[in-house]
Structure formats: structure tokens, C-alpha cells
Amino acid sequence: MITVTNFSKHYKGFAAVKDLSFTVAPGQILGLVGPNGAGKTTTLRALCGIVPPTSGHLSIAGHDIVKAPIAAKKNLGYIPDHPRLFDTLTVWEHLAFTAAAYKVANFEEGAEALLQSFELSHKRDTLVHNLSRGMRQKVAIACAFLHDPKAILFDEPLTGLDPQGIRGIQQAIRERAESGAAIIISSHLLGLFETLCTHLMVLNLGECRRFGAMSDVLAEFGQSDSNSALESAYFAITQKRSDG
Amino acid sequence: MDAALLRLLAMRMRGGLRLRLMQLVSLRGALLFIALGGIIWLLIASGQLDPTAQLFGGASLDSQAIRAEIETFMPLGMLGMTLLTVLLSTGPSFHFSPTEVNLLFVGPFSRRDLIIYKFIAYAAGAALSATLIAPFAQSQTGSAFSAFTATFLTLLFVQLNSAAVGMAWQAFEGNRLARLKWPVTALVCALALAAMIHAWAVPDRSISGLISDVRHSWIGTIILMPYIVFAELFLARAHFPDLALWAAIAILINVLLLRAVIKLDRRTSEFSLREDTRLSDRWERMKQGGSFWATERSEIPSIRSAPTLGGLGPIAWRQAIKAARNSSKLIVIFIVGAACAGPLSSMAGVSITGKHGLLMLYFFFGFSLPRTLICDFRGDLSRMETYKTLPIAPWRICLGQLVVQVLLSYVIALTMIVSLLLFEDSLGAPVALALAAFALPLTLLIYAVENTIFLLFPAKLVPMGRADFEFLGRSLIEFILKTVVILIAVALAIGVGVFTLLTLGSTLVLSGLASWVSLTLIAGLAMIVMQFAFRRFVVAEAFD
């Protein structure tokens, strides 16, 4: 369960996020969408404890990220928009470190399964700086999945992946949700949300413009001749408020 | 500390070692390592790296004099560094990379654990640095062990002290009194300058005497107390009790500073994060060939159009803009430094036109300046594709790339010549004029050779951490190669001048002119070779 209550974040007087509240229940996949600078990454980084909130409460699996950061982070998996890894370590060493950090006992079997599912088995002993961006993205996701987190945050998870990789990651996200994880995905790929997300939140200029079940949002805005239903909804929501 | 972080440290150190070994396995890496090792061995064997061998005079300083210098200047130097940290630092110096932010900040670790993790990582680096420095410092300290101990503890202190001071200042910056920072700095600088001028002007007084008096006064001793401990480490005569005592005090100071850093981190963690991002962006820019000091403003007035000049204009224009926006502070520092060369050499009683002074000048203009101020091909490795596709003749591209770099270096050289002319008695106007005339083709030659080597063997401009022997070896070999080429060119130019003098029997002006024309022609020849190197540069092969 991910709970955000009245979350605001200010940088030197500039409000990056204003009074945001929402909940993602186990099994739900929330799509976070909005134009550049809407506050998506700030929200994710605050949820995983990288940046402290200016006000409000953020909790992961019932633990407040500010008051009980370690308990909250034990239940969290975060995949950043840019897969930054330790250059001098191999793929397997990243998994070994993650297992040690999250106290995953007998991690080898789980790690092998993850490597297999992301088609990384043959890269087990490769130094990560020799991997392509897509491969490094897969390593970052495998590390985030290894400790079976109850909440998973994805920031642009499909960037740099090939079609097989995209299909594999989508499948993995679905499986994690089915096994009870609460998931948030931030992306500009609206097509990804339509096929994957159960809920949608549209952010613009740090404010929540629309939050609800995907089916409700799609039903509300319908489908135009040329655009998909979600695309129509997105532009209607963001442009309406910008114009106003 | 969390065991996982210790494990990560161990894996990262093993990974770093593995990377170095992988460098060794390649033929290029092995050759560069052997060359670097050989050169260092030769320097040690010939006593050139012996700290008792002074640069400014022919005779070596005696051990007692060096001890006095360390005792006086080291604490003052460290205090100066601390004050500079307060004045110039934009944040705490425990820097977390973006990878560490993404992987460790979201992991189940406390901030205390992360600070200790970073401290151990730094301590490991300091130990490696101390191991590398110890052989060169042991003649002063008496043994390699004492040299290692002193260097290691001092390096730790420098890091912890700057972190603690930086964080304390950040925590204090909201206070109203913090606004007095610059007025107080100006006042202290004015007082120091007045005292120095007084010491210089009054007979029987000297600047070094003034500094020594300040250091050994009771107030100086109290202010410098923590720094004196680290100077004493280098001066300890015996392992026990001298070194043991001072090392124990130094360890205590470092432990207290680490505790202070952990406490202060709670108040500055968000600021640290912002600073981490800023520093990481800078390093990324440096890896791409940019400048560490580049402007961080996001919006600046655009210059609407570039001069054409048959293709040469836009290239030089781009480099000029790059220099103005990325390196303006650096250029100012170099020009001010060059302007101070005359007064400083005069105050110190050192002849800059002597053998050692000229060596230092060559090292500055041939190595330090080209390595720091970069406005040519060397800063454009990631943009070579663009240059290759431009509809401009290669020679124009090469010349355009060098114009700004050469002119900037020449301005710095001219500033230094004028400064020396004004303050150095041994430098007359005719010699200064000759130096100014020869500096231009010589500067062009230096950068043409530098760029030719870079285009033939493109490589990164920043080392991959400590002990990147491939980078060090390459830098040293490049410098030696460049020196050989320049020595040959200068010898040829002098030879032509002497030949002119002997055959025509005319004045020195004509032979000087002949030498200048020869040097200019050689620099032009180097430009042709550089153009050839640019033409054969293959973009795809430059990135491995």
C-alpha cells in the first residue's frame, strides 16, 4: 500500500508539487502522467526518501518515509529514469549487493530466475558499464524486484528497451501487481498506461488534475477519430486547465 | 555500519582493482604502465623527486631548514584551505554519485551509515594516495611508515575538516551574521595586504619573516593548534613516542570531525543532495570534454549570429563562447596569477629567468595550462562527428579550433612578460620584446602538437579515479613527446639564427628575425600535421 497525504514540495519558493493526496492499494498499478515539470519525478523521489517533503505524509506499506525511513525502504523498489549502476561491478555483484542490503536469504535462486526472465543469464559476469542502456535498465529492475517489495516505483521504465524487453517488463509488472505489490509508473508513453494501469493520475504544474480508475477516465473522455481514448483524456485535462 | 554497505565497499574495491588489472592486460596499458614506472624510478634514482632538492636554487636545502618551513607554512596553508572552503564551497564535501543516490538512498540504510560508508571509501582512497606519496616523502619523515601515517591522517583531516566546515557554514548561513562574510573577508585581505606591503617595503623585514612571526605568535599558535598537529606528524623524529603521540591526537581530531559531520548532516541533508546533483552534472560535463567551471545559469542572452570568415569564423566563435561561458573564472585566475609572477618572484628573491625559473615556466605553459584551460579539439571528443560533417575545409576547422586557445595562452604569457619586465631587474625591454615575439609561434606549436597527439590517439581528459596509471602514464609520455618536439623546434630556430649571424655577420636583430621566422614555419608545419591527423580521425574508433 502506498499512501500520500497532502504532500507538497517547494524548492526555493517554487512549488514543484502542491497538496497531493492519493492511495495505491496492493494489486493496483497507478499511471502517473503529465507534461515535463509536472512533478512526477519529485513525487517518486519523495516517496522513496531521496528528497524530503516540505509538508504532508508519504508512507510505504504503513511506514512513514520520513519518520521510519528504513522500515519503509525495506518494502520499496525504485527504478529511476536513468539506470545508474556501479561501473566496476558485474551484473551478479549488483544482485549480491542488493540481497545483502535487503537481507534476502538464499537469494541465488531468485536472482537466477530474475536473470532468466530478463534474458540476462549470459551477462551474469559482465561489468555493467559494458552493457547497453536497455540491459542496464533490466539489471536495475532485477535489483528492484529481488527483495520482493510491496511497493514498486517506476520512472520511465521502458526507455531504451527493445520490443522484446518492453513486452518482458510489462509482463513482469503485471505479475508483481498480481502478487500483491502496489505499483506506480511515471511515463510519457500513454499507450503503456492503457494496456497496463488500473488507475491514472494526471499531474500538471505540480497539481493533481485528475485521479481515478482507468476505466472511469476513459469512459469520461471517450475516443476521438484520430486519438486513443487516453490521449484524448490527457490533452483534454492538461489543456483545459492550462487554458483556464 | 550496515554489513551490506561494507560488502559493497569490498566489492567496489575489488572491482577497481580488477579494472586496473584489465588495463594491464592490454598491450597499450602494459606499455604505459612500464613507461610510467620507469620514469618514476629514474626520477627517484636520480634524486629529482627528493623534497630536499629545491627548485629555486642550485644547492639543496638542509633538513633543518625544511623542518622549519613545514612547521611554519603547513599549518597556515591548512588554515587557508579551511577559510577558502567557507568562502568558496557551495556545499558539503561528502559527495554521493547519482548511482549511490539512486541505489543507496532508497535502500534500507540510515544517513549515519551512508556517511560512514562514504568516509571508509574516502579513507581507502586516502590510504592508496598515501602509499603512492610515501616513497617520495620518506627522506623527510625518516621512514616510509611515518610518511604513510602522516600523509594518510592529513588527507583524512583535509576531507573531514572541509566537510565539517562546509556543513557548519551551511547550517549557519541563514543567520543574520552570515551576511558579514564578504565584508570581513575584504577587511582581513586588506589587512594582510597592508602587512605584506609593509614587510616588503621596510628594510630588514621580509614577507616570509612576517608569516613566520604570525605563525609563532601566541595567538597564531592558538588559532593554528589543530593544524599544527598534522605538521608535527611530518616532523616526528621517532616512531615512539613522537609519531605515536601526534598520530593519536590526529586520530582523535579526525574522529571528532567525523562525529560533527554526522551530526551536521541531519541539518544539511537536502542541501547535500542538491550539491551532489550539481557536482555530478559537472563531472559528467568534464567527461564529455567540458569544463568543471562552466556556467550553471540556465538562461543567458544568445549571440545571434556567428562570423563566417570562410568557415574559420564559426569554429573560433564557438570556442570563444565556450571559453567565455565555461572558463572565464579560470582565465581570470591565470591572468591574475601571471600578473603576480613579477612581484612574487621579486619578493621571494627568485630569478624567474634563471634555469629553474625557466623550467617552471615551461612546465606551466607546456603542461599545467594546456591541461586546465581547454578550448580546442581536446574538449570536443563527443562533438567530432559534427566537425567531420561540416562543409568547411579541414585546415580551416583546425585553425579555427586553435585560434582561441592560442590567443588566450598568449595573453597569459604576455601578462607574465609585462609583470616580469616591471619587477624583475634581470629582464630588460629588448629581452621582453623578444620573449613576446617568440611566445606566439611557440604557443601555436605547443597546441598544434598537443592537438595532433590527441587526434592521433584520442583519450579521456579525466582519470578514472586514483591510480589510473594508464592515464598518468599517457599524460607523462605526451608531455615528454611534446617537450622533445619543442626542444627540436627551438634548437632548429636557434641554429638558423646562429647560422644567419655567422654568415651575414649582421646585428642580433636579423638573426633573431631569422629564428622567429623559422619557429613560425615549424609551427605552420605542425598545423599541417595536425590537419592530417584530423583528416584521418575516425569517429567510430574514438569511442570504446
- pLDDT tens-digit readout, A130-162: 888 888 899 999 999 999 999 999 998 888 788
**Nearest residue to B484 (alpha-carbon basis) of B455, B446, B512:** B446
> CA B532, CA B544: separation in Å to the nearest integer?
22
Kindly provide the ipTM of the predicted complex, given to two decimals.
0.71
Categorize the per-residue pLDDT at A184 as very low, low, confident or very high, splitting at 50, 70 and 90: very high
**Residue of chain A whose alpha carbon sits nearest to that of B2:** A101
Q: What confidence score (pLDDT) does residue B465 get?
A: 58
Indicate yes or no: CB of A76 within 8 angstroms of CB of B98. no
Preceding omega of B314 cis (within 30 degrees of 0): no
| The pLDDT of residue A213 is above 50 | yes
Q: What confidence score (pLDDT) does residue B260 get?
A: 92
Indicate yes or no: CB of B101 within 8 angstroms of CB of A50. yes
How is residue B242 annotated by DSSP?
Answer: I
CA of B262 to nearest chain A CA: how many angstroms apart? 17
Q: What confidence score (pLDDT) does residue B254 get?
A: 94
User: Amino acid identity of B261?
Assistant: V
Question: Among A48, A50, A88, whose Cβ lies nearest the Cβ of B19?
Answer: A88
Chain A neighbors of B97, CB-CB under 8 A: 84
Chain B neighbors of A48, CB-CB under 8 A: 105-106
Residues (pLDDT < 50) of chain B are 51-59, 542-544
Cell 609520455 belongs to B477
Query: Is A221 within 8 Å of chain B by CB?
Result: no
Strand partners, A22: A4
CB contacts under 8 A, A 44-63 vs B, are 48-52
Indicate yes or no: CB of A102 within 8 angstroms of CB of B108. yes
Q: What is the b/e burial string over A203-229, where b = at least 16 CB atoms within 10 angstroms of the residue's CB?
A: bbbbbbbbbeebeebbeebeeeeeeeb
Indicate yes or no: CB of A50 within 8 angstroms of CB of B99. no
Query: Is A149 within 8 Å of chain B by CB?
Result: no
> CA A182, CA A61: separation in Å to the nearest integer?
9
Indicate yes or no: CB of A82 within 8 angstroms of CB of B2. no
Give the tens place of pLDDT for each residue, B141-177.
Answer: 778 889 899 999 998 998 888 888 888 887 777 777 7
Indicate yes or no: CB of B108 within 8 angstroms of CB of A48. no
Query: Is A240 within 8 Å of chain B by CB?
Result: no
**Residue of chain A whose alpha carbon sits nearest to that of B270:** A51
Alpha carbon dihedral A138, A142, A148, A152, in 10-degree steps, equals -30
Give the tens place of pLDDT for each residue, A91-111.
Answer: 898 898 888 888 888 899 999
